[in-house]
Each structure stands twice: as structure tokens, then as C-alpha cells.
Structure 1
């Protein structure tokens, strides 16, 4: 497995609120887009786990019957540094203890940086589940001259 780009590792280690949008499309279906509440990047497996509401999974699940391609946009709530992760749906599961810790940590960062927004995006871990995406490519989406450029590409079977 090739090494991850330094900018992706650095981004994943920032102690700032990260706003997440997960998108899927099925043949002949309107795109489905939902909000994510946390994420965990697994660089060993090239997976990213996204925490969404269980109610969102009910709709997203229908899209997984028709196609397994998904994308996730992760944006820093401080300076709009953004990356789009594209790939294939691989699994869904309940949150683990580590996921719950990350979800709560993300909420604390929102509270510390944007306190007025915190009540609007607060979710209970019991309301959430994890959706896994095997990453095929990552694109820079930060506004500026490099927007849309490929940062990383993986061979996904």
C-alpha cells in the first residue's frame, strides 16, 4: 500500500470542527445527500468511516441496492480546507467506543470554536451509525486555484 499524502494526514489530525456531507447516486435516482457528524480515517485499509443518523441510513440503504459509489466532502469549520473522498460503499455498522469518543470530540471542537452552532448539530451516539467507504480517490476542494485537483488515487477492486 502506498503512503498517504501529508496534507490528508495533517487534515485528519486537526483539532477543529469538520463538517461532512455524504452523497450517493443510483441509476435513474436523484442524488441523495446527508450530513455526517463525525468520521474516522483508517489509513491501513484505505477506508473512511462516516457517522450518520440511523434515519439517514434508511434512505441511503436504498441507494446501495442500485450502486455502491459514494463520496464524502469533509470541510474544516475554521478555514474551509476541504477534501472530497470518492469510493465504494463497503459496510455499515453500529458505532464502536472509539467512534463514540470521536463523535463527542468533534462536538467539543464545535462548542469551542463555534458555540452558537453546537446545539443545532448535537446528536446522541445512540442516534448514529457508521458507514464505511473504501477510498478510490481524494480531491482538493478548498476554494482557490487548486480546487478539484487530484490529491490521491488508489486501486479499488
Structure 2
């Protein structure tokens, strides 16, 4: 147990040090606020996971973000971007289109259509399973296996 402590402390302090060096942790490229992005910029490139809440203090929102931040590599491997919208006023275009009530998680496929809507937090494993069933993801998996077999 004592030998584990230095590694834990090093991991805790690694993020602030990389920020001081101008390097952004990989997981930061994954999370966006609704006012930072236009959903159309991700069409055919990324799979948006949109997390709605009426406040960033909503317990479901807090839990959802904790779950998503625990396993960013799995999300990035599936071309996921997480977009948050915690301001119900004024209505964003996406809020008008998807009509969330309080907390809602929405998984949008690369084609730009809604694949999953959940009124409660979902962990990365559940999100990943849902993505892995999508036809484009199935093709991506086949292509990755073919490249691995060639190389």
C-alpha cells in the first residue's frame, strides 16, 4: 500500500503540471459546452453525446459527468465528443429540437440522427456498447482488424 501512494500522488499532480507546460490532457479535447460548438461540425466525424440539465449542480448531471470523465480513452476511441448544456434559458437550437426535460443524455450517431435518449446517467460501458452496435462503428471495427492483420 505504501508503494502505491507515490504513484497516486504523482497522478494527481500530473494534470496541473501538464497544464503549466501548455499541454492539454487528452480528455479535455473530449468535452465542450453547447455555446462553444455547432453540432453540424461533427457530422460524419464524431459521435456527440449531449448531456442536458437545468443546472450544472443537478445531481444527475454531476454523476453523468463523473462517469464520462472516468474513462475518456474509451470514448475517444469511438470518436465521441461530449457536449453539455446546463442553461435552459434561452433555448438553444438543440434544446428546441430534442426537447429535454430536466436531465437527459442523448447519443447522436455520425450521420447526425439521435440514436439513444436516456433520462438518467449512463456509464461509459453502456455508451460504448450502444455505439459498438451502430453500423458505421461495426465497419470501423472491421477496418481496424484488417489493418492490424496487415501490419
TM bucket by the smaller chain?
under 0.3
- TM-score, length of structure 1 as denominator length: 0.24
Structure possessing the higher radius of gyration over alpha carbons: 2
More helix by share: 2
Which structure features the higher share of strand residues? 1
